[in-house]
Structure 1
Amino acid sequence: MPSFHDQVITILPKLRVQALSLTRNRAAAEDLVQDAVCNALAAQDSFIPGTNFSAWMHRILRNRFISDLRKRRDTTDIDDVPAACFASNPTHEDNLALKDLSLALSRLPADQREALVMVVVQGMSYEALAEATGCAVGTAKSRVFRARRQLEAWMTGELPANDKLRMKVTALRAALETRRREGRDGSDLLNS
């Protein structure tokens, strides 16, 4: 059986992926992983050998993230964020699709986004996900299912449910289409 430290080193890449999915910021994700590892080392005596080390570490990381969120509690209204933060000039079709996916992922509720990343990207089982997040297996499956269904709806062009946002998206699409028909670039609309 590998030593505790060897298990920590082995799981670091998966912790980084989970942290990145939670924070959506590379530097913050690295800080979160470091804090979680420090917590795990401090609580090393509480780990029961033979149990699921991966789930134990993922739970420590998730709990640390939640604890940090509670400490900050600063929020902003989406209407206060400049539109330039949400759009950029695509250099390639794939980049645009990835940006759309990234935006759609960021719109998912945190529990669904976390579950989707842990199952789809990390290949974690529903049972391990349930143990890591402290929920029932059925809840874990439901979160992944709802996240996949919502992403599919957004990625296939379904308009947002929020009326104000729907009207903005409809107006933006119409303006972009008009500019395309006139042979003009519509990138200024995305950056304003």
Structure 2
Amino acid sequence: MAQTFHDQVIAILPKLRVQALSLTRNRAAAEDLVQDAVCNALAAQESFIPGTNFPAWMHRILRNRFISDLRRRRDTTDIDDLPPGMFATEASHEDRLVLKDLALALSRLPEEQRTALVLVVMQGMSYEDLAEATNCAVGTAKSRVFRARRQLEAWMNGDLPASNKLGQRVAALRAVLDTRLGSTDNAKRIDV
């Protein structure tokens, strides 16, 4: 039995939340984005053609709503303007530091690469669905995911040019952490 439009909307909500969180990097803003996208979809449900790819249609609505909201706000903050305390973690939580490094690296990826990586890797979207959702060729979708993976791998392995602000920031944060840990805890620390 075919799902109704409303059933399909309800079924895709968890994936929309993940996509929205990857775009906004803020839980409250992500919930607002999902709500706005669902409202847009409900208002435009007559334009959806049954039998076509509903998840791709919804992801495109969410992405377009995010872009529209960004254009309206133009509210950004450079990472160098944030206080160092925003990135401090307790010494016993090395994994949290790695996750923060990863989040920082993800935030530095171009939006197209970050979106493609999240949709394919975290949500399991196919390259074909990604291409349809982002209005690009399948080869372009594959290339974006490939480049995003390679760039993250390089950044997480420390292959950063000396002039790279991300690398300088991570090195400064690690130096502060090393100072706080002292020499006894440093032996237990695993370098990333």
Shorter-chain TM band:
0.7 to 0.9
Scaled by the length of structure 2, what TM-score is found?
0.85
Structure 2 CA distance for aligned equivalents of residues 47 and 97 of structure 1? 42
Matched, 1:24 2:25: yes
Alignment size in residue pairs = 185
Mapping for residues 1-192 of structure 1, pairs under 5 Å: 1-160=2-161, 162-163=163-164, 166=167, 179=179, 183=183
What's the TM-score, normalizing by structure 1? Answer: 0.85
Secondary structure of the corresponding residue to residue 75 of structure 1: coil
The CA deviation at 1:84 is: 1.7
In 2, the alpha carbon distance for the partners of 1:144 and 1:176 equals 32
- 1:73-103 C-alpha deviation (Å, 9 max, x unpaired): 1233333221222332243232222222222
Paired residues of 1:159 and 1:169 also in contact (CA < 8 A):
no
C-alpha displacement of 1:111 = 1.2
Give how far 1:175 is off.
Answer: 7.1
The AA in structure 1 aligned to 2:95 is: D
Deviation at 1:135, TM superposition (A): 1.1
Paired with 2:182 and 2:61, the residues of 1 have a C-alpha distance of 55
* Superposed CA RMSD: 2.5
Change (3 A) 1:90 1:32: farther
The amino acid that maps onto 1:111 is E
Task: Write the distance in 2 (CA, Å) between the matches of 1:42 and 1:128.
Answer: 23
Report how far residue 172 of structure 1 moved.
Answer: 6.2
Unaligned residue ranges in structure 2 (runs of 5+): 187-192
Gap change, CA 1:172 and 1:124, over 3 Å in 2: closer
> Matches of 1:6 and 1:181 in 2, distance apart?
52
Query: Are the structure 2 counterparts of residues 79 and 181 from structure 1 closer, same or farther at C-alpha, using a change threshold of 3 Å?
Result: closer
Counterpart CA distance in 2 for 1:19 and 1:175 is: 33
2:171 & 2:97 partners in 1: Cα distance? Answer: 19
Q: Kindly tell me: are residues 85 and 52 of structure 1, through their superposed partners in 2, closer, same or farther at Cα, counting changes over 3 Å?
A: same
* Contact 2:91–2:181 (CA under 8 A) maintained in structure 1: no
| Structure 1 unpaired stretches of 5+ | 187-192
Contact kept in structure 2, 1:15 and 1:61, CA below 8 Å: yes
The alpha-carbon distance between structure 1 residues 53 and 135, as it changes in their structure 2 partners (threshold 3 A), is same
CA contact (8 A) 2:120 2:127 kept: yes
Q: Structure 2: how far apart are the matches of 1:105 and 1:171?
A: 19
Shift of 1:109: 1.4
Q: Percent identity over the alignment?
A: 78
Indicate how the Cα distance of structure 1 residues 183 and 8 shifts in structure 2: closer, same or farther if over 3 A, else same. same
